[in-house]
Amino acid sequence: MACVLVDVDGTLLEGPSIERLFVAHLWRCRLLGPRQIAAGLHFFLRYGLRYGWLAPIKNKAYLAGLEVSEIARRAAVFVQERVACRVRYSLQERLRAHRAAGAPVMLLSGAPDFLVHPLAASVGADAVAATVCAQDKGVFSTDPPVRHPFYRDKVIIAAELCAEFGFALTECTAYADRAYDLPLLNEVGCAVAVCPDRRLRRAATRAAWTIIET
């Protein structure tokens, strides 16, 4: 038995990122407006030099001023109605097999936690490590995320999560679709590339990792 770490966007889910879809949903619901647009631009001015190419990925300031509880409520409904149906069949079958073998399944994603938690419930995952957006007194703020499992930080957060279950990364299986996850895939005992991008496909082929094409 070992932990199973599953990336969300492009790996567990097909199609556009769950966060991008939810932002579009919030816009259609008129919850996003000039204040949120201004907050997003301000984030780049304040933190662009600090984060460099990661700044657009870390920018969650579009949530500024929105109530945390309201966004969580809307996210749960959104995932149930619009996202759960996009889980890859091949991953569903593999996760069932892992759970049947007694392995804890964990979703590890840079998407906001208010989206990943309801998704985890729908697929029967045992734990979640996702982006925790900054908030103050019950509303989201313009500050950088409190936790952001992406690129190299994903390795650190994954190790901490696995340790809670009594495992080391070398005992784990990880599923991912993009080269951004190579730092993590290189650390686990079993790496699986799911519909990989070009860089990850090259690395997976060289390392003789399993490649899932659908």
pLDDT tens digit sequence for 132-155: 999 999 999 999 999 999 999 999
**Crossing angle of helices 18-28 and 113-123, rounded to 10°:** 120
β-pair type (135-136, 190-194)? unpaired
- Report, as an integer, the average pLDDT of 46-75: 96
**What pLDDT shows up at residue 184?**
97
95 residue type, one letter: L
Q: Is 158 helix (H, G, I), strand (E, B) or coil?
A: helix
Query: Span 59-87, mean pLDDT?
Result: 96
Spatial CB neighbours of 96, under 8 Å, sequence gap ≥ 6: none
Position 1 pLDDT exceeds 80 = no
- What predicted TM-score, i.e. pTM, was given to this entire model? 0.94
Q: Which residues pair with 176 in a beta bridge?
A: 193
Q: Transcribe 7-33 into DSSP letters.
A: -TBTTTB-SS-HHHHHHHHHHHTT---
